[in-house]
Structure formats: structure tokens, C-alpha cells
Amino acid sequence: MKTKITLLIAMLFLGFNSVSAQGQGQEEDMNTLSIFSEYAKAKNYDAAYGPWMELRQRNPKFNRAIYTYGERILKDKIKKSAGGEKINFINDLVKLYQERMTYFASKTPKGEFMAKACQVKYDNRKDLNLDAIGLYSGFDTAYQADQKTFTNPKSLYTYFSLMVDLYDAGKKPAQELFNKYDDISEKIESEVKNYTQKLNKYVSHGDEEVQLSSKEAKRKKSYESYLRAYGQIVGSIDSKLGERANCENLVPLYTRDFEEFKNDGIWLQRAMNRMYAKGCTDDALFVRIVQQKNTLEPNASTAYYLGILKEKDGSWTEALGYFNQAVDLEPDSFDKAKRLSSIAGKFRKKGSYGQARSYYTKALAQNPSLGSAHLAIAQMYAKSANNCGADNFSKRAVYWLAIQSARKAGRVDASLKKDVANTVANYKAKVPTKSEIFSSGRSGEVIKIGCWIGRSVTVPSL
């Protein structure tokens, strides 16, 4: 009995010491975390490095801040170092991403962080002596592993850019290049749609600006930033592809592969889109592909392209019927807005401004952040000024209306602010001056604008 009691006391003593040691260890880890995080917050990364590395090595799964601040610390080290030391820091940053995926898997989107690791290697490819084929393979592995979270605009562009480089070097075939272009373009389109729909929650549907809380304003700014970035890389990707996808290359390729893929809806869809984008719609193959796709899988795109063919034949009424059908067949508001805006552009090109405005307005109802529609309406007002005013004063008053519409574009689409500023400055130079308002005695008067515009504008009060 005495022996049992002695053993029990010993076990309790050892357990107490173990709990005590764990408590001391956790306290030490918390202190170390606090030290390096404060240094990192102050951007004193050199001072943060030592305690950060100490905690990372001692207890890598203690807190996600090890990886959040560690990324900043190592990026600073890479920036300030050279030679072998720089290479070590680069490799350690890649290792850090891998460790985060190991210890905080549920909080570490695989596609996002695999792409980050690939981008670090690409940005430092000369120091690491890496070739295009290896770099591309890394990006491709990341993309295939988790396409959903592989969303960084820069990495998407790098991924495609490497494909083009490999094609130019004769290491990738044309079909694989075009497939990857379509793949990345569709991914970007998906992300643009996603952020546009998020942004629309904070965009005014009328003339008044939406009042946002600081948190909402921050979100809105973030969504606008992503949309600007995606807008930039769309142009960069198209430029990178360049003449490699012109009609001279596309038509023979699609002609060769048509019989093999004529029952493949994705192939037909992408072929239609690519030929249309590159202006290959005059080729008989385009008609053949559109008709085959319409037979196999009729959708909004086939309806739209059938409208294009009717328009080319001079049958505008039939074409418009197909264009409207394309709108009806689109499954969501983002794509409906694109179709409606496209139809509006066709009416605008014909000089049918009233019809154009009607379709632009419908497009805005589907996508309130479509600033290009407001800007197009402003430009149509300005172009009609001489035709829609009763006298010189009211003709120039049309520019106030144009300014209002242009400013709406800037409010709902941050990427247009520079264009809007230039447009507004141009129109301001054409409105009646203060002295002209005074001498006319029309200060504060509401002027009704005639013809297709059919709107009123109030003369500024002096």
C-alpha cells in the first residue's frame, strides 16, 4: 500500500512538472512572438529576424503570425542581400510557404501559396539559374492543384507569359498555346465577374452616391484594386499573344482539327470566341463552327454570333433578334450587361443614340459598376450638342448633362477616373461661362434638351 501511494505521489509530481514546463514553454513562445511581431510592425525586419527564426524553429505550429510576418521579413532580406546569401533567403521564403501549407493547411489556400512560391522563383530566376520549362511546370502544377485560389493577377500573367516563351522556343505546340490562352482568359473573366458582383453591393444605382462605412469603403477599394489589376493583365496577355493567334494561324489550325473536335462543345466555343476576337468572321470556317455549335449546344454565344452573321449579310432586324436572344440566354447579370452594352455599341456606331442609350441603361441595371456605359452616354450627349439645343446657350448647356453622366462613370468605376477627368475638363471648357450665365439672366433655370436626349439640365446658380 505504501509503495502504491509513493508511486501515485511521484506520478502527480511528474505531471505537475510537465504541465508547468508546458506553461513556461508557451509563455516563452508568446514572449518571442510579441517581440518579433512588434519589430515587424515597425518594419524593423533586421531586429525581427532573430526572434522570429528562433520561434519558427522551436515551435513552427505555434501561431500563423510566424508565416504572415515571416514573409515580410524574408522579402526584406532578399531585397537587401546579394549572391549566395540572397539565394539562401529566396529558398527559405519558398520553404516558408511550404511550411505554412504543412502546419496551417486549413488557413493556407494551396493554389494561392503554391503560386506565390512559383512567383518568387520566377522573379529571382537569374539568381536561381532557372529555365522557362521548369518555371512553367511549377505554375502549371499549382494551377492544376487548386485553380480556385490561384487568382493573383501577376502570377496568372507570368504563367501565360512562360507558355508563350516556350511556344516561341518550339517547346510547346500552337494548340496548347491557344488552349492555355483560353484557359487563363476564362479564369480572369471569372474573377472579374466575381469582384464586379461584390463591388456592385457598394455602387449607387441612381444619381446619389452610396454612403459607406469605413469597413465597406475599404472593401470597395480592395475590389476596385483587383479589377484594375485584372484589367491591366487582360491587355498584357493579349499583347503577349499578339500575332501568334492571327487568322493566318488560326484558320489552318481549326480547319485541320474541326473533324476531330466537331462534337466537343468546349473546343467549338473557344474556336468561335477566338476567331471572333481576332476578326476572322469573314472566313467560311467561322460560319461552319457557329452552325455546328448551335446544332450541338445552342447558347447565348451562338445566338450572338448568328446575329453577327446576319449583320454581315445586311439583315439588321434579324441580327437584332439574335442579339436580344443572346441577352435572354445569358445566365447571370454580369454577362447580360456585356451583351446589352455590345448591342448599345452597335446602335451608337449607327448614330441611333436613343436606342444606344436605352441598351446602355439596361446594361447598367444589370451591372451598376459598368462605368463605360455612363461614359458612352456622356460622349453621345456631347456629340449631339449642336443638334439638340434651341439656341447657342442651350446647345452648350448639353455639356452640363454630359458632365453629369461622365462623373457617374468615375463614381462607379475607379479604373476610369483618369479618362473621366480628361472628359470632364474637355466638356467644362465648352459650357457657358459665369459671365455668360449672368448676362443671359438664366442662372438657376431648368433647360429642357430636345431631340433624342429628352432630358433637362439646371443652369448653375450664381
What DSSP line would sit under 276-304, residue for residue?
HHTT-TTSHHHHHHHHHHHHHS--HHHHH
Query: Is the C-alpha dihedral spanning 221, 226, 229, 230 positive or negative?
Result: negative
How large is the average pLDDT for residues 435-451? 92
pLDDT tens figures, 124-165: 999 999 999 999 999 999 999 999 999 999 999 999 999 999
Q: Please tell me whether residue 409 adopts helix, strand or coil conformation.
A: helix
Mean pLDDT value across the chain: 92
Report how far residue 323's alpha carbon sits from residue 179's, in angstroms, rounded to the nearest whole number.
27
Residue-wise pLDDT for 373-410, tens only, equals 999 999 999 999 999 988 999 999 999 999 999 999 99
Residue 377: count other Cβ atoms within 10 Å of its Cβ: 26
pLDDT given for residue 188 in this prediction: 95
* Gap between the Cα atoms of 365 and 355, Å rounded: 16
Across 285-302, b (16+ Cβ under 10 Å) vs e yields: bbbebbebbbeeeeebbb
> Which grid coordinates are listed for 343?
448591342
Residue 306, number of CB atoms within 10 A of its CB: 23
Q: Which residues contact 21 (CB under 8 A, 6 or more apart)?
A: none
Q: Does the pLDDT of residue 2 top 90, yes or no?
A: no
pLDDT, tens digit, for every residue of 312-347? Answer: 999 999 999 999 999 999 999 999 999 999 999 999
Instruction: Give the 3-state secondary structure of 151-177.
Output: CCHHHHHHHHHHHHHHHHCCCCCHHHH
Choose among 26, 411, 57, 47: nearest CA to 199: 411
Residue 361: burial class (beta carbons within 10 Å; 0-12, 13-18, 19+): middle
Q: Residue 327 corresponds to which cell in the numbers above?
A: 441577352
Domain ranges in the chain? 369-462
pLDDT digits (tens, 9 = 90+) for 66-92: 999 999 999 999 999 999 999 999 999
Q: Between 9 and 285, name the one with better pLDDT.
A: 285
pLDDT in tens, 104-121: 999 999 999 999 999 999
State mean pLDDT over 453-457: 95
